Structure formats: C-alpha cells, structure tokens
A and B are shown apart, each in its own frame.
Chain A
Amino acid sequence: MPRIDAHLHVFTKASAEFPREISDVWPADREEPIEKLLGEMEKHQIDQAVLVQMAGASIANHRYLLQCLKEYPNRFLGIGLVPEGHPNPADHMAELTDNTGIIGFRFSTFGGPRDIFAKMDVREFAAYPIWKCAAERDYVLWLYPNAINAHLLPYLIQEFPQVRIVLNHLAVCPGTGKFSWDEFGRPQVQVTGYNLFMHTTYRLARFENVNVHLSGQYAFSSEEFPYKDLAGWHHGLLGGFGAKRLMWATDFPWILEEPGYGKLTTVIEELLPNLSEAELADIMGGNAKRILRFPDL
C-alpha cells in the first residue's frame, strides 16, 4: 500500500513566471520547491502527496502548482483555491481542473448566517455555487472552516451528499484572532483546553462522505513532538470516523525545522499506538489513495 502525505505546500520564489502573494513568512525570495519535498519523501519512504495551493488564488498564482503536477503526474494530486467573491467560481474551477491533476478546492468560509438559530437556506449561502459545481464535477472539497462557519457545514453536506469532503488538520475550526506564527515559522492556532470540535465537526462523522486529516498537531499542541496532549483528540476522531476515513499528513514545509519531516512520519503510531497494521496502513496512505483516487505507481 502506498504511503501518501495528504496535505502539504510547495512554492518557489516569486517571479513573473510564477507570480504569488508574499508575506513575512513566505517573502519573495523564499522557496520550498518540489525537489526539496521529493528529497524528504525519498528519505522517509513516502510515495505520493497532495500539494495544496497557497499564496494566492488567481489562475496565475497556481502556475507553480500546475507545473509540479504536470512534471510528476503519478506522484502528486493538487488542491486549488477559489478567489473570495469570484463572480463565476465554476469557470475558475473548470480552468484549473482541466486535465491538470487538481482534484478539488480549499476554503474556510461558507457565507451563511453567523447565528446557528437563524433560518438556514443553503441556496442563499455564498459558497453554494462552489459546492454545486463540486457536486456536478466530482471535485473534492478541502475544508478548514473558521469557527463561526462550523455550524453551516451539515446543511451543505446534506444538500450535496455526493461531494467528497476532507476536513483539514484534526477538524479544528480556528477562531478569529487565534492564528499566529511561532519562532520556527510554523502556524500556531490557539485552542481551548476543552475540545469544542467534538460538538461540531466531530459530529459530522455521521455523513459517510466526510473524511479528516490527522495533521497540524504542532499548531494546536502545547507540547513538543509527539504531541501527547492531542492523543485524546486522535482517539475521538478514530472512534467517530473510523480508520477508513482518516488521512495522515505533514503540512510540509512548516514542519521541516521542528519536529522534522521524518519524525512526523511516525506521529500516528505515537498517538494511536493500538491501531492494527492494516488500520495504520490505511491512515498512512490507503485511505488517501482510495478517497482521492491517486494513480497506481
């Protein structure tokens, strides 16, 4: 069974050929190229990976991702971005998925009522056209919902039960103002000691098309690797979703310095030590191959 890293990012220096947004963490001259990733994958026996677009949602911003997918069609699948407020998201999504290796799109807001007690009509949600397009064209939706959006998800999932959903990073829904970067250049998300998500995203286990990444531990844990304080979260997700709907990922490149790519290839064994060999193999790649339809190597 292949070992698949189900969520990571690569980018090159900002240039006319590969335009991208810049920030303090990814300045114009920083690069975390595909070759560097391939080196880590080779070293740690990882066969395939999902490349997730970052640093811009325009078609041009996706050029480097598209080049990587074209160059290594058997090794990688891609997840794109849709510009917020795009007047015709279906066209944008179609252009990016035209035989390119991009299989779906990532976003974090759904544009519905802030108040869970409000009347819900999914057709009024701003993200409705994206979901509709995903349903019609069999795209995967890669979701990292903001905290105030989590309650909207089951309405959309009910409306589009055929859409494959992957909840990113332990199904956490970050709160406004709780995001920062640490001294190792890693995203940090401040979460409460009490696991709020077991009352929202964990409850989506009932929907068979919802899957979850076991990743991003470094961002939520108050401990060093192997992030034992999150063992309960992993057990909760395993108990709810089962071993067939969980996917391991590293979130490369943020983890390269601390704890390092190699250590993260063992994080599932550390946090879920009672998995059978078959269950571990599923989480480490089998599920990603089946759900995301990775090509045979």
Chain B
Amino acid sequence: MILPTPEEKRQWEEEGYLVFENAIQGEDLKRLQNAFDYWADACKEEWLDRVEAGEAVATFYDIPNPLEKDPIFIDIIDYPSYYGALMEFTDHDLILLGPQVRTVAPWPVSYTGWHPDVGHSNPLHIKVQIYVNDVEPGSGEFGFVPGSHKPDAGPYTRPMRQESMTGHKTFPGKAGTAIMFNSCGWHVSMDNHSDTPRKSIILIYEKRTPGRIGPEQFASISASCQTPERRKLFSLDG
C-alpha cells in the first residue's frame, strides 16, 4: 500500500483534492479501456430506449452493474496507486458506496452545474475520478474549487457558466489519471466543446458508519472478494 506523502496529506487537508497522474497504466489501462468500450457499446441502445421512455438522463450514461461485468472494474476499487491515500484519510475504515462507469456526450452545455455532493455533517465522503481516455481542456474535464471542502469556506453560489466559478481549477489529464476529491467541495464537469465523449469512472467511497451499506449490496461479486480487506471494503460481512 502506497501511503500519501506529508505534502500530499497537507494538500488533501488544505485543498481537498489530489491528482494521481498515471495512476493506472500499461496493461491494466488497456484492460480498463477495452472493458469500458466493450460494455459502453453493449449497453448504449438499451440506455437510448430508456431515454426515450423518460427513465434515463439524455446527456450521459453509466454502464449498469459494472462490477459484475468485468473484473477490472473490481480491481480498480482498491488499486494501489490511490488506495493507500483513501485508507489513510479514512483512518483505515473505508467502504465503497459504488462506481459510476460514465460516458458523457459532447454537448453545448455541461450536464451538471457546480455543486457539492454532501454536507459537512456527512461522514467523510470521497470520490475518485479516473479518466479512461485523454481529457483535453474544454472536453468535459473535472473542475474543483480548492479549499471549498472546508466548513468555513464560501458561501458559494452556482454561476451560469462553469468557467465563471470563483477560485476554481480545472483538471485535464491523460488516460489513467485519477483525481481524488472531498465531496464536500464544489466540483463540476466542465463543458465539452470537443467531438470526443468524456469517458471516466467515478468511484464513490465513505468512511464507514454502521449500516451504511448492507452485505447484500455487493453480494453478487463476493467470489471476487476473498481477502479480509476486500470483504471489509465491499461491506460483505456486515
């Protein structure tokens, strides 16, 4: 397990995010890209049918139940390059809430506005966004307001245009880059004015609280979770 350096810990506390360049690379990145592309393609028509029926969002789609579809989607949950930091920041008491294996279409407007996911009363809630393809500036890259995760930060209001957010920073990156952020912080997907869909995976974690995730949630992948650490991460033993 690779634990964060003192500088990384300071940045996490002060700014609320960390960037892991080349977090996933080589054969693992190829496996991830192949699995992503295969299943995104396989699931697309059903998603469009659901859009037409008014049951799914029209501007992006997630591969349903990805953990059951390819082992690489399980392997990235506790991937060494960022898993140590996740464990350290949650006092080694981490649970997975779920993955979003997401394809976002180019569109004149981003599919979401600036927002925090949770309030400060929530247990520490962390997301890791992994780029599956290269994400250039102006093609739906992640945006974050450093320091906005702190209870005394703000107040913030949502601007009409993503780029008008006070104090924000954007994070274009190569495929395999992982961006970890405190979900109390204000964040967004920037506009994608390119011709390329943004492919990324958003892993959602939290510091464990009793009963937050039941053992049934990830029971279908129990066979892939043989170590005590994994079983704890996936809340498989209650």
Contact = CB atoms under 8 A, between A and B. Distances in A.
Contacts of A239: 158
B52 A199 contact: no
A199 B59 contact: yes
A151 B48 contact: no
Interface stretch (A50-58, A65-73, A114-122, A256-264): A114-122
Interface string B40-68: 00001000100111111111100000000
B52 to A, nearest CB: 4
Contacts of A99: none
A115 B48 contact: yes
A151 B48 CA distance: 12
B20 interface: no
Given A174-B54, A175-B54, A203-B113, 13 more contacts: A117-B197, A148-B48, A150-B58, A154-B107, A154-B108, A158-B108, A177-B53, A196-B57, A199-B57, A199-B58, A199-B59, A203-B59, A206-B161
Contacts of B54: 147, 173-176, 178, 189-192, 196
Nearest to A179: B54
B112 A199 contact: yes
Indicate the size class of the contact surface on chain B. 20 to 34
A114 B48 contact: yes
A170 interface: no
A150 B51 CA distance: 10
A204 interface: yes
Contacts of B158: 239-240
B223 interface: no
A148 B51 CA distance: 6
A154 B109 contact: yes
A217 B108 CA distance: 29
B229 to A, nearest CB: 33
A205 interface: yes
Interface residues of A, number: 32
A125 B113 CA distance: 28
Contacts of B48: 114-115, 148
25 contacts: A114-B52, A116-B59, A116-B105, A117-B106, A146-B52, A147-B51, A151-B58, A154-B107, A175-B52, A175-B53, A176-B53, A176-B54, A178-B53, A196-B56, A198-B112, A199-B57, A199-B58, A199-B59, A199-B112, A200-B57, A200-B59, A203-B110, A203-B111, A203-B113, A206-B109
Contacts of B111: 199-200, 203
A155 B108 contact: yes
B153 interface: no
A192 B58 CA distance: 13
Contacts of A147: 51-54, 58
Contacts of B53: 147, 175-178
Main secondary structure on B side of the interface with A:
loop
B117 to A, nearest CB: 14
Interface in A169-226: 173-178, 189-192, 196, 198-200, 203-206
A176 B109 contact: no
A151 B197 contact: no
B109 A116 contact: no
A115 B197 CA distance: 13
9 A-B pairs with the lowest CB-CB distances in the bound complex, closest first: A175-B54, A154-B108, A148-B52, A147-B54, A116-B105, A175-B53, A151-B58, A199-B57, A203-B109
Contact of A117 (B56, B105, B108): B105
Nearest to A205: B160
B98 to A, nearest CB: 15
A236 to B, nearest CB: 10
A206 B160 contact: yes
Nearest to A119: B195
Contacts of A190: 54
Contact of B59 (A151, A178, A191, A205): A151
Contacts of B57: 196, 199-200
Contacts of B160: 205-206
A192 B113 CA distance: 20
Contacts of B110: 203
A146 B51 CA distance: 10
A199 B51 CA distance: 12
B102 to A, nearest CB: 12
